[in-house]
Amino acid sequence: MSPILDPETIVLITGANQGLGYECVKKLAAEQSNYRIIIGSRDIVKGQAAASNVTKIANNTSIEAVQLDVISDESINAAVNLIESKYHRLDVLFNNAGIMFVTESTPRAEFRKILETNTIGATCVTEAFVPLLTKAGCPRLLFMSSGLGSLTLTTLPFSPYYGYDFKAYSTSKAAVNMIGLLYAKQLRKSGFKVNLVDPGFRQTNLNGFHNEGGDPAGGALEACRLITDASADGQHGSFAATEGPVPW
């Protein structure tokens, strides 16, 4: 089937009822017209509340929510079916949903829960939505990563990430980087733009609103730049922050 060319850009951001995903929704809503932004939220009530709040600042942009739990295949498939029935395609998928801390008392349980959400969840969501993305004129696929997932930055004493030891979270993001690269290689010939984003250390619910974190809005800049770049020669296969490329 030929790609669908339409003035409306349809964007799905997982885990976007709060945190950096929500910051991306707000920025896109305020700056972009003819966008339809879909907030993926595990709790649909929270997703709908977030959509209602953002609608107040929207610039000719439509905001809605869909129930989407990235660790549930049933929820993922239901979201795919809903978006396909309403819009027949998806222009942008941003795998943003993630967790950093859990209450599990053993390393095995901690690793299992964090990787299930951050890595396996993002992979399963991507697999499910690739057919709808293929129908877009310029499909964009983004993954929320982190400097904590950089092997290079983890080993450099002068790196801002050197002093942190979040084994499960860092491992999950290093794995996300590999997943993103594999999709970049797989989907390049289909016209996809696949990239990974390091938002920097931001003060959000993910890290308990750590007082050393920067302005959450700053964490949305690079992601939104990539979301809105529909050029044929746009960035592809990168791991980058607002300041520039991030070492793998």
The C-alpha atoms of residue 185 and residue 165 are separated, in whole angstroms, by: 31
Catalytic residue among 169, 183, 189, 193: 169
Domains in the chain: boundaries? 9-245
Catalytic residue among 173, 183, 185, 193: 173
The C-alpha atoms of residue 120 and residue 175 are separated, in whole angstroms, by: 9
Q: Is the pLDDT confidence value at 105 over 90?
A: no
Q: Is the pLDDT confidence value at 201 over 80?
A: no
Give 134's pLDDT tier (boundaries 50, 70, 90): very high
- Homologous superfamily, domain 9-245: NAD(P)-binding Rossmann-like Domain (3.40.50.720)
Please report, rounded to a whole number, the percentage of residues in the chain having pLDDT higher than 70.
91
Q: Is the pLDDT confidence value at 69 over 80?
A: yes
Give 7's pLDDT tier (boundaries 50, 70, 90): confident
Active site residue 169: yes
Helices 167-187 + 107-115 axis angle, to 10: 30
Q: Count of CB atoms within 10 A of residue 208's CB? A: 11
Average pLDDT over residues 42-48: 97
Average pLDDT over residues 25-52: 96
Give 65's pLDDT tier (boundaries 50, 70, 90): very high
> Residues 121, 79: contact at Cβ < 8 Å?
no
Active site residue 56: no
